[in-house]
Chains A and B, each alone.
Chain A
Amino acid sequence: MKKLIAILSALILVLSFAVSANAEAAKTYTVGIIQMADNGAFTDMREGYIARMRELGYTEDKMTFDYQNAQGDMSNLASICQAMIDKKVDYVVTIATPPSQAFLNMGSDIPMFFLSVSNPVGAGIITDMAKPDKNATGTSNAIPVEEMFKLSAKLTPNVKTYGLIYCTSEVNSMTTITKAKAYMDANGLKYVEAVVTNSGEVQQAVQSLIGRVDAIFVPNDSVVQTALTVVADAAKEAKIPVYGSSAVMVASGAFATISISDTQIGQMTAEMSNQYLKGTAIADIPAVVVSDFTMVINKTTAEAIGVTIADDILSTAKIIE
């Protein structure tokens, strides 16, 4: 029992230090950022957000960011959200669906800006995208599946069967896959699915598709994304194109995508936060589905798989070597 008391009192002592240390920075804005996991897209969004806020005049002496990352461990999310509420941050920025749900469910009066939530209404964090009713607004980046397949029809018109690689545990990629299947069913295209549950299984998933498909489509899936070079290499060897869902994927060796850069999504959300800081109520800042897309093509991959791209497309696309 003595031991318990000793440990507890030591903990309380350290805790009180931590609390008092936070109380000092009062005059500036403190913004909490809660990121679900370490993945390229999330990190780009966060950095895009912070960079834009700095540009908008919220310099380091005026705004500090308290960035926390659950590192994929959902049992930490609640603690992170509680820490933010304790620190009385001015508002929080949540990246991905679970942190947004976890923070909103705490029922604090701290406003929330969300990023990378593919279906905010379904996730229960907003009732109507146009009228934020839960003190939360932000951006949703649904992948433009239709545009994606139209691009594919233009660049590689002979593709009849697509391979789909995705992880069943991600709500974002499941949303995209459902849309992709609906589009293909309606347009007489065929598809073969390869499902993974962690990034270690991606290699075998790709190999199971090679020889059975004419192209591979990867949704906005953070698990597959971490192993995208594996997908890209195998596809290059088999000389089939990989269509990705973000510029990061194309940079990792996928052939092409129609997307908005994750940095831009961060920037757009930063503009919304700026509106709020300038006095607009959260309820008057509609949540938006990002729809301003650019074509991104990887030229090295194009050459490797022997696809020639017409000049008119090349001139409008963003080219990655």
Chain B
Amino acid sequence: MTLFLGSLQLGLMYGLLAMGVFISFRILNTPDLTAEGSFTLGVAVSAMVTLAGAPYLGLLAAFLCGMAAGGVTGLLQTKVGIHPILAGILTMSGLYTINLAVMGASSNVSLIGKETLFQQLFAKLAPLPKDIVKLMVGAVLALLVLGLLIWFFKTHLGLCIRATGNNEAMVRSSSINASGMKIMGLAVSNGCIALSGAIVAQYQGYADISSGIGILVVGLASVIIGEAVFGRRSVTLGLVSAIVGSVLYRIIISLALSSNVFPTYFLKLISAVIVAVALSIPTLKGELNKARIRREGRNRA
């Protein structure tokens, strides 16, 4: 049960990451590799501010720092004209040093026994089981950010950002500042990613410089799994499906972990295969449908 609840908790927290990746990957239509750096930045900032005694402020600070990181990638892409993939890589590697600096030149900062927001809530909501409190934190945060993003992408600014992702030439010819929109979009995207790191750091009880390794793959897989379930329709549905995809991804990982059939070193392959199978379901269904229609056509002829 811990594993199932844990997958839900983690899925919701990493759902923020998935929404961030959705914004750059689907709304802005640009591959952004800043995630590995900005996630760790969120982890680091949140841990240090928590150590200073302000866990909630840590979340906000992490979000703002993530926005700044995304802004830098945006500037590199638009103002300096660096290829989007390279711009992300540059920011990501630069952030490595900044993250170490944030953590006081140490690669690991412990939050065990410190006043994280979870510890504070455990005390406040005392009779509730800890797992439920953790789930509530994940759900409240995910829903809050989801609501804000849905609202944001319906405002004038949000609509301009979406338009830039859809058709940059059209946006420019309507004399909207397309570069500014890109920078803003990447800032919001990386803000969400850093916020995800911020809550994960307090959840897992430590910050480590390697926290971000492989995180982009997690985010992308979550977005695509979500799309396999809901299809690609509106931005609102896309954001919702990113969170659902993230939860499903965690459940997949937990299944790979609890299957004792394969040796331990199979973990990555098993999770890759399960994700691939989940993703191929819509296509397979389509093929089956086509085959059925063809068969019926022949029968009629």
Residues of A within 8 A of B (CB): 3-4, 7, 11, 14-15, 18-19, 21-22, 38, 66-69, 71-80, 82-83, 85-87, 97-98, 101-102, 104-105, 107-108, 122-125, 134, 168-171, 174, 197
Contact = CB atoms under 8 A, between A and B. Distances in A.
Nearest to A35: B264
Contacts of B204: 77-78, 101-102, 105
Contacts of B268: 71, 73
A255 to B, nearest CB: 27
A107 B134 CA distance: 12
Contacts of A4: 229-230, 244
Contact of B258 (A72, A83, A108): A83
A123 B2 contact: no
16 contacts: A7-B281, A15-B251, A72-B214, A74-B210, A78-B10, A78-B203, A79-B7, A79-B250, A80-B257, A82-B5, A83-B254, A101-B112, A122-B110, A169-B208, A169-B210, A174-B106
B111 interface: yes
B215 A75 contact: yes
Contact of B96 (A75, A76, A97, A197): A197
B112 A15 contact: no
B255 interface: yes
A72 B217 CA distance: 14
A145 B227 CA distance: 54
Interface in B163-193: none
B205 A102 contact: yes
Contact of A105 (B7, B206, B244): B206
Nearest to A97: B108
Q: Which are the 5 A-B pairs with shortest beta-carbon distances?
A: A105-B205, A124-B110, A82-B6, A124-B112, A171-B108
| Residue of B3, B96, B209 with highest tally of chain A CB at under 10 A | B3
Contacts of B56: none
A125 B114 CA distance: 12
Nearest to A5: B229
Given A4-B244, A82-B6, A73 B110 contact: no
Nearest to A3: B229
Contacts, number: 149
Contacts of B208: 74, 97-98, 169, 171
A71 B267 contact: yes
Contacts of B130: 107
A140 to B, nearest CB: 14
A123 B215 CA distance: 23
Interface in B1-36: 1-7, 10, 14
A11 B255 contact: yes
B264 A69 contact: yes
A4 B230 CA distance: 8
Contact of A171 (B106, B200, B252, B281): B106
A123 B267 contact: no
Interface of B: 1-7, 10, 14, 93, 96, 100, 106-108, 110-114, 130, 200, 203-206, 208-211, 213-215, 218, 229-230, 244, 248, 250-255, 257-260, 264-265, 267-268, 278, 281-282
A98 B214 contact: no
B107 A169 contact: yes
Contact of B14 (A75, A77, A125, A171): A75
A62 B14 CA distance: 39
Contacts of B113: 124, 134
A69 B265 contact: yes
| Residue of A11, A66, A125, A170 with highest tally of chain B CB at under 10 A | A11
Contacts of A97: 108, 208
A202 B296 CA distance: 63
| Residue of B4, B251, B257 with highest tally of chain A CB at under 10 A | B257
A60 to B, nearest CB: 15
Given A101-B110, A171-B107, A79 B205 contact: no
Contacts of A76: 253, 257, 267
Contact of B260 (A21, A82, A174): A21
Contacts of B214: 72-73, 75
Contacts of A98: 108, 206, 208, 210
Contact of B2 (A14, A85, A197): A85
B6 A124 contact: no
A85 B106 CA distance: 30
Contacts of B1: 86
